[in-house]
Amino acid sequence: MKHLSKIPEELKGMNKFNKSDDGNVANWSKMRKNTKVIVWSQKLGFQCGSRPLEELIGRVVGGENTVYGQVPWQVLIKESRLFGWLSFRKCGGVLIGDRWVLTAAHCQAGWLGSLDVILGEHDIQLFQQQNANEKVILRKAKRVIIHPEFSRKRLENDIAIIELESEVNFDENIQPICLPKADEDFTNCMAYVSGWGKTSYNSLGYEQGGKDSCEGDSGGPLMVQRNDSSWVLVGIVSNGIRCAEPNLPGVYMRVSKYINWIESL
């Protein structure tokens, strides 16, 4: 993935342009067919929020390129139209279970469109080549569950869950991130954001600008590393005014606010 950026040490509030491209440890959860969220990491011996590489660097706006395995929960969402004849990069997303992805609600497909989810990739250009990584997986979206109070006009409650058509197997580059507890507070924590969008603009950003998520980054993760080295999902990239502009930070959906909704599905 080409876009991952370190952002401010102090996280303030998280909860205009649209960032989609068209224009303790909360153990990671598995949703079964009845869509009930159950915690199963201890049962299966997995640890959420783990990744093979120690340093998290990368590129959104003002960041640097990532390398294979650094953000194993980041996915790419593409939209297909005209029965697959037209396909384009839509948004980012975050893997939270073996067939469940969190993203922004405004990333839903348009009329007669469908969504494809690409897992295990870190560079879009490589995916488009014939010698693409064989470990990259593509899954069609079976359904998209939009938050019932989502407002497209105001981009409030801009969060959705995608159910994949089939489960994915985890490896060193496909792993779920941890979900936060409903009452967790990440104020003053160092956070990171990753995505597939533009890198040419000069948050949750710095007050002076220069680093931020940008167009194409919608639905991607805002994440914090815990003291036990696991990574937890703090926010979902939603919207903002331009990219990395001074005094115009990006807007993120606070995931802890929606944990009860996720678990109630």
Token pair of 54 as six digits: 């120690």
- Rounded Cα gap, residues 109 and 78, in angstroms: 9
Amino acid at 28: W
Do strands 100-103 and 86-97 pair parallel, antiparallel, or not at all (unpaired)?
antiparallel
Residue in 98, 158, 212, 217 annotated catalytic: 158
Are the C-beta atoms of residues 58 and 71 closer than 8 Å to each other? yes
CA-CA-CA-CA dihedral for 12, 4, 153, 165, to nearest 10: -120
Are the C-beta atoms of residues 102 and 257 closer than 8 Å to each other? no
- Rounded Cα gap, residues 231 and 234, in angstroms: 9
Is 123 tagged catalytic?
no
Residue in 5, 20, 80, 218 annotated catalytic: 218
Residue in 106, 122, 213, 256 annotated catalytic: 106
- Rounded Cα gap, residues 162 and 224, in angstroms: 23
Is 98 tagged catalytic?
no
- Rounded Cα gap, residues 37 and 59, in angstroms: 32
Burial (0-12, 13-18, 19+ Cβ within 10 Å), 10: exposed
Q: What are phi and psi of 127, to 5 degrees?
A: -65, -30
Is 218 tagged catalytic?
yes
Task: Give every CB contact of residue 169 below 8 A, 6+ residues apart in sequence.
Answer: 98
Catalytic residues: 106, 158, 218
